Chain A
Amino acid sequence: MKICLLLLAALMLAACSPSAYRMHSTAVVTVAGAHAVTGAAVDAARGSALDAVEAEHPETGEARTAALRAEAARWTPAGLALDSIRSALGTWLSAVELARAADDGGALLDALLPLAARVLGLWDDMAALLRDLGVEAPALPSAVRALVGGAT
């Protein structure tokens, strides 16, 4: 009877413990959430900057177009950084899918961790870039950094 109870408890614990694949999926969702918040803040800041240009040049024409393009160009690196992280999140998730399909006890997942760590490096670079544009990107949770070994 005791053995049966222990077995049941072990099964329930196994059912409740998130697998490495689920932990990585959750980490991707967490970073995607931070990305969405940061992207919205960047959109708003860029929009305000371009609104100000439009207010300075109310009439359409070459001067307005040139001024708008100059201001938009200032924000281009921020857009590229956000899109790079979006792409890296997709790569991270593909690595998790591959590792799950391989079903090799996590060895492949460990080997693919540098792909996940790349997101952290990109995030830090983007945060520095956005700071120069007056936008503060949130720090990623330490649990996410710990999951991929903190490597950047």
Chain B
Amino acid sequence: MSVVTIVTSLLEVVAAVAPGVLAAITGQHTDSEAIEAARERVEALPVRSGDDGAWAADLARRERGDEPTR
């Protein structure tokens, strides 16, 4: 194996792992990953209003005189 081959192989390895290493160092993701993470964050926010909202269930529980489940 020639020196050129070794260097080329090393460069290929570096090129393959560099984006992941950079992302790990900088804490950044690809655009799609960042958008997906933001989407998950927003969807995790509870819905409060409406008949299916968290507050309707809480009010119904209080009206029945039930103890909180948590």
Chain A residues in contact with chain B, CB under 8 A? 12, 15-16, 18-19, 21-22, 25-26, 28-29, 32-33, 35-36, 39, 43, 46-47, 50, 54, 60, 64-65, 68-69, 72, 75-76, 79-80, 82-83, 86, 89-90, 93, 96-97, 100
Contact = CB atoms under 8 A, between A and B. Distances in A.
Identify whether the interface residues of A are mostly helix, strand, loop, or mixed.
helix
B35 to A, nearest CB: 5
Nearest to B64: A60
A25 B42 contact: no
A36 B43 CA distance: 11
A42 B48 CA distance: 11
Given A19-B31, A79-B49, 7 more contacts: A16-B22, A25-B31, A39-B45, A43-B48, A60-B63, A69-B59, A83-B53
A50 B39 contact: no
18 contacts: A15-B22, A22-B28, A22-B29, A22-B31, A25-B37, A28-B42, A32-B41, A32-B42, A35-B45, A50-B62, A60-B63, A75-B55, A83-B47, A83-B50, A86-B47, A89-B42, A93-B35, A96-B35
Contacts, number: 91
B31 A100 contact: yes
B63 A93 contact: no
Interface size class of B (residues with CB under 8 A): 20 to 34
A86 B41 CA distance: 10
Contacts of A21: 31, 34-35
